[in-house]
Structure 1
Amino acid sequence: MQETFDELEDLLKNYRNFKMEGRKGLSNFGVFLQKQSENNASPQEVKSYPPGVPLPALIAHLWGRMLRHTAFLTKKALEETELRSLDEFGILITVEQHQKPSKSQIVQETLQEPTTCFESIKRLERLGLIKEQPDADDKRVRRVSFTEKGAAHFRMVKGKVFLLAQILVGNSTEAEQVQLLQLLKNLDAYHSQLAINESKEKIEAIVAERR
């Protein structure tokens, strides 16, 4: 009998937390309870699903699935725009954030292969979205900025990408999104260091040095 009361108390606590987040509906509460159960799972329980698969491998598998989901949704988000990919959007957002960045700076910020990035810049320039001009102090450096058409088009695309972002985070709570953001920031810092210092290393050597 005490076990039943304990379970009822836990249920009421979860429902109070659910309501405090401003959420409604019994079906949504069911999803909330499922997430709470997953969050409270022990490391052994997580590692045992599916049986015998190491935790990093399972994460990599789900990461790959998310990349495919992202690719599909990106295509939907950009289908009425001049852009072909999030890489091209990355070029434009770098132009917005850094105000006339150099082409090499765009490569660094977007993590794209230089030749591919330069080809994308040329395509966006042919579309009339951006323009190049020599740096005032160093004529060898080319600076990239928006055209009037490009600035207007970018504002429209940015709204669609924001909708894409809302879909990608799904029904996760704000607290979960904050936690995910911190994890991704940590991983980005780790992999940025690898890209800078160990880009020519074989994967076995990278793993061995990081143990």
Structure 2
Amino acid sequence: MNFELIKSVVELVQQFMEQNEGKAQYSNDLHGFTEWINAANQHDFENPDWIGKESGRSSDSIINTLLIRMNRYAKSYSRSAVGSSVFSSQDDFIYLISLKNMGTMSKMELIKHNVHEKSSGILIINRLLHNGWIEQAVSPKDKRIKNIQITEKGLAILDEHMEEIRRASRAVVGNLTHAEQMLLIAVLSKLDEFHDSFYRMNLETRDLLNTVYKKLN
């Protein structure tokens, strides 16, 4: 029996009773206790602390910093996952997963989907073609466009290393609860949807920042 857990729960219940005494804000039962815990968690989400907050550092600044840090953590875990595999980088299996999940795509569609510069995306695609993990064919709708799809060899190599990839993904999620994961997915999806349209529109023109800034202001 986990006595430390029981002790923590008892202390939490005692804290609930003390705070609720005289105020009767919550019913003195399991339902009221649950509401109290949810309210406390909601307060943490609505008014979080961050380094530099008291000295005036904005939420925009800390969000940008945290996203950059998370990207670096994710890259580190991915490098560990592919370190002993046949993949040259995390981009190899990310492109393969994109093709597996979304089906045949043009080169530019795949590059834009993975938010890469054209030159970087072409290098990745050429590497995958060289390894025989993807194949290309002229689009029946437009002879100027080459469509690419994952091959059986690509599916096999992806399946062979999928557990390592999943382990890296689980490491990124860290200690988030299921509810926190769902909230994060919703928030990041909203951000991704906002930025994706501008990125696709301005991939070649290099004025992405100005376009987004004008939209926000």
The TM tier, using the shorter chain, reads: 0.7 to 0.9
Q: 1:134 aligns with which of 132, 138, 145?
A: 138
Q: Equivalents in 2 of 1:143, 1:205: separation in Å?
A: 30
Q: Give the structure 1 partner of residue 160 of structure 2.
A: 156
Q: 1:173 aligns with which of 174, 177, 187?
A: 177
Letter of the aligned partner of 1:6 in structure 2? Answer: E
Instruction: Flag the 1:202–1:186 CA change in 2: closer, same or farther, 3 A.
Output: closer
Q: Equivalents in 1 of 2:172, 2:17: separation in Å?
A: 38
C-alpha RMSD over aligned residues: 3.4
- Could you tell which deviates more after superposition, 110-119 or 91-100? 91-100
Relative contact order, higher structure (CA 8 A, sep 6+): 2
Q: Taking structure 2 as the reference length, what is the TM-score of the superposition?
A: 0.71
Give the number of aligned pairs. 192
Instruction: Flag the 1:164–1:8 CA change in 2: closer, same or farther, 3 A.
Output: farther
Determine whether 1:84 maps to 2:88.
yes
Q: Equivalents in 2 of 1:77, 1:131: separation in Å?
A: 25
Q: Equivalents in 2 of 1:152, 1:178: separation in Å?
A: 30
Instruction: Flag the 1:37–1:60 CA change in 2: closer, same or farther, 3 A.
Output: farther
Alpha-carbon offset, residue 134 of structure 1: 2.5
- Could you tell which deviates more after superposition, 99-108 or 162-171? 99-108
Q: Equivalents in 2 of 1:137, 1:198: separation in Å?
A: 24
CA contact (8 A) 1:73 1:164 kept: yes
Alpha-carbon offset, residue 204 of structure 1: 5.9
Identity of aligned residues (%): 22
- Could you tell which deviates more after superposition, 54-63 or 36-45? 36-45
Q: 1:207 aligns with which of 196, 202, 213?
A: 213
Q: Equivalents in 2 of 1:103, 1:202: separation in Å?
A: 21
Deviation readout 1:42-98 (Å, 9 max, x if unpaired): 856636754221122122222222122111111001112222333222321222123
CA contact (8 A) 1:198 1:206 kept: no
CA contact (8 A) 2:112 2:200 kept: no
Give the 3-state SS of the residue equivalent to 2:105 in structure 1. coil
Q: Taking structure 1 as the reference length, what is the TM-score of the superposition?
A: 0.73
Unaligned runs of 5+ in 1: 18-32
Letter of the aligned partner of 2:168 in structure 1? Answer: L
- 1:65-76 paired onto structure 2 within 5 Å: 65-76=69-80
Instruction: Flag the 1:42–1:198 CA change in 2: closer, same or farther, 3 A.
Output: same
Letter of the aligned partner of 2:111 in structure 1? Answer: V
Alpha-carbon offset, residue 180 of structure 1: 0.4
- Could you tell which deviates more after superposition, 95-104 or 170-179? 95-104
Letter of the aligned partner of 2:121 in structure 1? Answer: C
Instruction: Flag the 1:3–1:38 CA change in 2: closer, same or farther, 3 A.
Output: closer
Instruction: Flag the 1:37–1:63 CA change in 2: closer, same or farther, 3 A.
Output: farther
Instruction: Flag the 1:171–1:202 CA change in 2: closer, same or farther, 3 A.
Output: closer
Instruction: Flag the 1:86–1:8 CA change in 2: closer, same or farther, 3 A.
Output: farther
Deviation readout 1:107-132 (Å, 9 max, x if unpaired): 23222112221111111111222222
Unaligned runs of 5+ in 2: 1-13
CA contact (8 A) 2:133 2:150 kept: yes
